[in-house]
Amino acid sequence: MPREVFTDGDSEVFTTGNCFECMAMELVLRFDGRELLEKVLDLHHVYNETLHSYDPKIPPHYDQEYPTNVSMQLLILSIDSLRELSMDFSVNAYLRQSWTDPRLRYDNISDVKRLELDQKLLNSVWVPDTFFSNEKYAFVHDVTVPNRLLHVYSDGRVMYSMRVSMTLSCQMNLHNYPLDVQRCPIVIESYGYSTDNVLFNWHETHPVEIPNVGLPQFSLEKHPVGHYCNKKYGIAGTFSCLNTTLTFRRNQGYYFAQIFIPSMLIVALSWVSFWVDPEATPARISLGVLTVLTLTTQTSGTRAQLPMVSYIKAIDIWMSTCMIFVFSALLEYAYINVLSRRKNRPVRTNKECQGAMVNDANPNPLMPFIKLIDFKREARKVDRISRILFPSMFVCFNIGFWTFYSYLNRDNEFN
């Protein structure tokens, strides 16, 4: 490639043979400053000295007796969703890593404090082989350029940051659903380098940051804390591992408006039949069947949002109990309907027979006083008892249900 010489007045200033020198020429022509040109040339010299013989395939301390310590920091920008059906959640975050690479130290050759490498030079520097072990799907953002940053400081410190979106698995405990608390982990591991070569450590002051993050159905509890979880994989060795847990408490407003209050009203509607005349068969049957079908539809819609787990959830107990109350109200009418259709018949009690034997006014002591049982009156009596019994039992159930799941088992302590 031919070389061009540019001069400033009578003296030769700069010769170009590559793109870096072309950039320097452009800055000189634009600003006409020798000081700026010297700074650009200094940067060019640092790049050449540090990266000329650098091998990005080898860890910084590979030939020494101690591993490279990589400091991790996770800044969560947003939590997009948390899905019970697929048991996962999605996050958008900055993953920041820093370590010291003595091969990149240049404080003895230049006063430049920091090198900000271009995207094309990122592959020229060694970076840790970090991955998220509970990740289902992830990608690094690339609009308008790949969202990756790498700075090299004069003392050899390297700061590497990237913006990633991930869908991570979360094994949820749905025993208390929808009054539950979910704890979802984020696990960071080294894929290829064992603890002999690479050690992960959380940032000393702010390992995990979550500024102003929220979800419509959840609230984030407890600021997450970083933990260590080094894992051993047989003969492959022990690999460095970090984890943190996000604690989500489900907001209950939606479920009160869409499930609990409507089901309470359906159960209360089934009690209206206790005030309807037992002889009004079409009205009472229609009311009972309507409440049963409505509650069945609501139960089916609720379960469609959940995975088919084998254990009993709080919502199952609630909906099943409501179904029992509604169905019992329908069975109560079947009982009093059969009872009211029976014919009145006389009944002789022992007391009446003894009284008839000693009563001289009765010409025939063998014939006791006759008492007729009014079965329609008995049916109405069952209705009057049900008007008090059913609501009382439902109130007792509510007291026990809400006390257990809102206070005694608030954090899934019994599961």
CATH number of the domain bearing residue 234: 2.70.170.10
Backbone angles phi, psi at 273, to 5 degrees: -65, -20
Evaluate whether residue 386 is within a structural domain.
Answer: yes
Q: Token pair of 207, please? A: 């390992």
Domain count across the chain: 3
DSSP calls for 263-295: HHHHHHHHGGGGGS-TT-HHHHHHHHHHHHHHH
Evaluate whether residue 195 is within a structural domain.
Answer: yes
Distances (CA, A) of 98 to 21, 128, 157, 162: 30, 10, 7, 12
What CATH number has the domain bearing residue 324? 1.20.58.390
Q: State how far the Cα of 74 lies from the Cα of 411, in Å rounded to an integer.
A: 26
Evaluate whether residue 355 is within a structural domain.
Answer: no
Judge if 225 and 186 occupy the same domain: yes
Judge if 242 and 260 occupy the same domain: no
Judge if 228 and 80 occupy the same domain: yes
Q: Token pair of 20, please? A: 């870096």
Judge if 158 and 234 occupy the same domain: yes
Judge if 36 and 160 occupy the same domain: no
Judge if 396 and 262 occupy the same domain: yes
Q: State how far the Cα of 402 lies from the Cα of 243, in Å rounded to an integer.
A: 34
Evaluate whether residue 183 is within a structural domain.
Answer: yes
Q: State how far the Cα of 232 lies from the Cα of 205, in Å rounded to an integer.
A: 28
Evaluate whether residue 58 is within a structural domain.
Answer: no
What are the b/e assignments for 8-27, b being 16+ CB within 10 Å? eeeeeebebeeeebeebbee
DSSP annotation of 414:
T
Q: State how far the Cα of 263 lies from the Cα of 2, in Å rounded to an integer.
A: 84
DSSP calls for 22-46: HHHHHHHHHH--HHHHHHHHHHHHH
Q: State how far the Cα of 105 lies from the Cα of 156, in Å rounded to an integer.
A: 4
With H, G, I as helix, E, B as strand and everything else as coil, classify residue 123.
helix
- 165 close to 95: Cβ distance less than 8 angstroms: no
Judge if 240 and 176 occupy the same domain: yes
Evaluate whether residue 275 is within a structural domain.
Answer: yes
Judge if 88 and 237 occupy the same domain: yes
- Could you tell me the end-to-end alpha-carbon distance of the chain, in angstroms, rounded to an integer? 74
Could you tell me the residue range of the domain that residue 157 belongs to? 68-251
Evaluate whether residue 274 is within a structural domain.
Answer: yes
Q: Which of 192, 217, 251 is the last residue before a domain boundary?
A: 251
Judge if 238 and 276 occupy the same domain: no
- Return per-residue pLDDT of the chain as tens, 415 residues: 444 443 444 433 333 344 445 544 554 445 445 554 455 555 666 676 677 778 888 888 887 878 999 999 999 999 988 999 999 999 999 999 999 998 888 877 777 788 888 888 888 889 999 999 999 999 999 888 899 999 989 888 999 999 999 999 999 999 999 999 999 999 999 998 999 899 999 998 889 998 877 788 898 887 888 899 999 888 888 999 999 999 999 998 999 999 999 999 999 999 999 998 888 888 889 999 999 999 999 999 888 888 888 899 999 999 999 999 999 999 998 888 888 776 555 555 556 555 555 554 544 544 444 455 566 777 788 889 999 999 999 999 999 999 999 888 877 766 6
Q: State how far the Cα of 123 lies from the Cα of 137, in Å rounded to an integer.
A: 23
Q: State how far the Cα of 383 lies from the Cα of 370, in Å rounded to an integer.
A: 27
Q: Which of 251, 284, 301 is the last residue before a domain boundary?
A: 251
Judge if 32 and 85 occupy the same domain: no
- 244 close to 302: Cβ distance less than 8 angstroms: no
Evaluate whether residue 391 is within a structural domain.
Answer: yes
Judge if 234 and 332 occupy the same domain: no
Q: State how far the Cα of 398 lies from the Cα of 405, in Å rounded to an integer.
A: 11
- The pairing of strands 181-190 and 241-250 is antiparallel
Residue spans of beta strands (DSSP E) within 271-367: 346-347
Distances (CA, A) of 58 to 124, 126, 152, 306: 11, 7, 17, 48
Which amino acid, one-letter code, is at 395?
Answer: V
Judge if 269 and 126 occupy the same domain: no
- The structure's pTM equals 0.75
Which amino acid, one-letter code, is at 146?
Answer: P
- 178 close to 249: Cβ distance less than 8 angstroms: no
Q: State how far the Cα of 69 lies from the Cα of 200, in Å rounded to an integer.
A: 6
386 membership: H or E segment, kind and range: helix 375-403
